[in-house]
């Protein structure tokens, strides 16, 4: 009898425990959100227009502050966003509260606060150890219900994020991450330890998924507190490995010293406060830098030394140790915001309309990755070779951006140039082009009879200024273009047009 009573108590405890676990799992599922996005991306071949709107879906999770954590690429260029809870049919209107395209993370808020009723905000946990099991929640394509997959954390190191081509820490798991899974939480012990973001489609790769780890998530959440995006700070120095014994000796290091050789320090970059080309970066934030430019961020786990920089915010002071001509120096670098690009070709931007300027039927745009990627997934081989080559050129105070004559809208004023396209120009009437805004100012302020454009090889395009002004309205009307330049290109253009109109009325 006694044994029977004990057995009944054990069964009852087990039943209650299982019931509690089921309630916990169901409560967690209520915090996993499906996101519906209507996205209309700009057409960088016709920068005054939009591409056809697309219907996209992704996943997210409710976190504290009545907000939803998801991927930036889930809501990029979104014009209408809705969210839906697990088990509910109703969709709620949502809007973007904060976005970090570099980290591929976004925070959404819902206008109707009743959406968050019966949802429990999930908290951020610590990154598990390697070979530990994690669970990925989301709404992949192929169905409407919540999908739950399990995988093992197999690798943690710096990876290129596909969304904005940033280089940050990422976790790798062997769980499937399919379209629609993006933005879904990676869960361990009921806490968020990652946000699913991309998969590896390389030849032979199977079930290789990547997620944004807690270190990156917490950085973005801290950055979002004031609602002003500052992003990850930059060091502003280019380094190379010191695995060559000869290079190591030439740099003045002893056999037991390792580090990264500084090969370039950008002008006005934070690194210029302490580093010079030829220095060897020995330590960053107390982490010893190995000859392959990695640090041991966790016991027996290594990643790029930029991990140490990424833990800081704009305005923080980063301690570094360097070797200069064999002398050991300690310094602090006050970190600053990363500029739009250190390359002459600016990185891909989202949620922004393209800049353009039309003169004499010639459409001018800045060269950036948005334009290059307009050639499709195979842009590496299909985009003009001059565009691809320019990606490897660094900007300077004298030349910060490249300007392209994208195409010619045929008209009498541009006769002889109708087949010109994708032409990178360097000067206007002999004056070097610094950036797109300065280029537009040069074109707009010219009082010469002719406007002469020239490229680096010496080829020229000459346009009659009076004919260009006279035919401008006809060209815009013929090709159904609403404005001759992008909105807000700079105020002087609008002011100039108003003044010209007033002068015309007086005359």
Cα→Cα distances 69→74, 98, 145, 195, 238, Å: 11, 10, 19, 8, 33
182 tagged catalytic: yes
The phi, psi pair for 67, rounded to 5°, reads: -140, 160
- The closest of 135, 54, 67 to 106, measured between CA atoms, is 67
From the candidates 57, 59, 73, 306, give the one annotated as an active-site residue: 73
Q: Phi/psi at 326 (nearest 5 deg)?
A: 90, -10
Q: In whole angstroms, what is the distance from residue 315 CA to residue 421 CA?
A: 43
**Is the distance from CB of 32 to CB of 184 less than 8 angstroms?**
yes
Closest CA to 75 of 51, 92, 100, 52: 100
Active-site residue, 491 included = no
* Residues 59 and 34: beta-carbon distance below 8 Å: yes
User: How many Cβ atoms from other residues are within 10 Å of residue 46's Cβ?
Assistant: 17
β-strand partners of 110: 94
Catalytic entry in 31, 102, 104, 158: 104
Q: How far, in Å, CA of 460 to CA of 472, rounded?
A: 21
Catalytic status, residue 73: yes
Tokens of 68: 């939803």
Find the catalytic residue in 147, 182, 188, 486. Answer: 182
Q: How many CA atoms lie within 13 A of 55 on its CB side?
A: 2
C-alpha 121: how far from its chain's center?
A: 27
DSSP string, 212-266: E-HHHHHHHHHHGGGS----SEE--EEEE----HHHHHHTT--TT---EEEEEE-
Q: What residues act catalytically?
A: 73, 104, 182
């Amino acid at each position: 009898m006694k044994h029977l009573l004990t057995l009944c108590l054990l069964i009852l405890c087990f039943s209650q425990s299982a019931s509690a676990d089921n309630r916990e799992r169901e409560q967690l599922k209520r915090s996993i959100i499906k996101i519906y996005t209507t996205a209309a991306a700009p057409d960088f071949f016709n920068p005054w227009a939009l591409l056809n709107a697309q219907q996209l879906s992704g996943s997210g999770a409710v976190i504290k502050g009545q907000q939803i954590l998801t991927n930036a690429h889930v809501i990029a260029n979104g014009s209408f966003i809705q969210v839906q809870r697990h088990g509910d049919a109703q969709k709620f209107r949502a809007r973007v509260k904060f976005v970090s395209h570099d980290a591929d993370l976004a925070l959404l808020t819902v206008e109707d606060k009743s959406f968050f009723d019966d949802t429990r905000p999930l908290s951020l946990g610590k990154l598990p150890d390697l070979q530990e099991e994690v669970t990925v929640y989301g709404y992949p394509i192929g169905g409407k219900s919540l999908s739950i997959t399990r995988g093992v954390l197999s690798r943690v190191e710096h990876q290129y994020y596909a969304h904005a081509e940033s280089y940050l820490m990422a976790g790798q798991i062997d769980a499937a991450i399919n379209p629609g899974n993006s933005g879904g939480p990676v869960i361990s012990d009921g806490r968020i330890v990652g946000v699913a973001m991309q998969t590896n489609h390389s030849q032979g790769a199977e079930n290789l998924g990547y997620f944004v780890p807690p270190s990156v998530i917490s950085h973005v959440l801290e950055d979002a507190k004031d609602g002003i995006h500052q992003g990850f700070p930059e060091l502003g120095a280019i380094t190379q490995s010191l695995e060559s014994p000869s290079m190591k000796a030439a740099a003045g290091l002893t056999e037991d010293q390792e580090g990264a050789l500084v090969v370039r320090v950008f002008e006005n970059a934070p690194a210029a406060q302490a580093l010079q080309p030829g220095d060897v970066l020995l330590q960053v934030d107390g982490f010893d830098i190995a000859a392959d430019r990695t640090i041991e961020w966790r016991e027996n786990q290594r990643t790029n030394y930029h991990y140490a920089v990424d833990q800081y915010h704009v305005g923080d002071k980063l301690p570094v140790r360097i070797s200069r001509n064999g002398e050991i120096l300690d310094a602090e670098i006050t970190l600053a915001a990363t500029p739009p690009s250190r390359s002459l070709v600016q990185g891909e931007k989202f949620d922004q309309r393209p800049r353009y300027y039309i003169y004499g039927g010639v459409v001018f745009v800045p060269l950036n990755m948005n334009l290059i990627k307009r050639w499709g997934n195979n842009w590496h081989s299909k985009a003009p070779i001059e565009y691809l080559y320019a990606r490897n050129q660094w900007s300077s105070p004298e030349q910060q951006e490249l300007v392209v004559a994208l195409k010619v809208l045929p008209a009498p004023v541009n006769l002889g140039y109708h087949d010109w396209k994708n032409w990178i120009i360097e000067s206007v009437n002999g004056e070097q082009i610094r950036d797109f805004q300065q280029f537009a100012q040069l074109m707009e302020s010219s009082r010469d009879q002719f406007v002469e454009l020239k490229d680096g090889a010496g080829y020229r395009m000459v346009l009659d200024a009076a004919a260009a002004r006279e035919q401008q309205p006809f060209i815009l009307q013929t090709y159904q273009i609403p404005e001759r330049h992008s909105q807000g290109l700079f105020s002087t253009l609008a002011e100039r047009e108003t003044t010209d109109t007033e002068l015309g009325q007086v005359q």
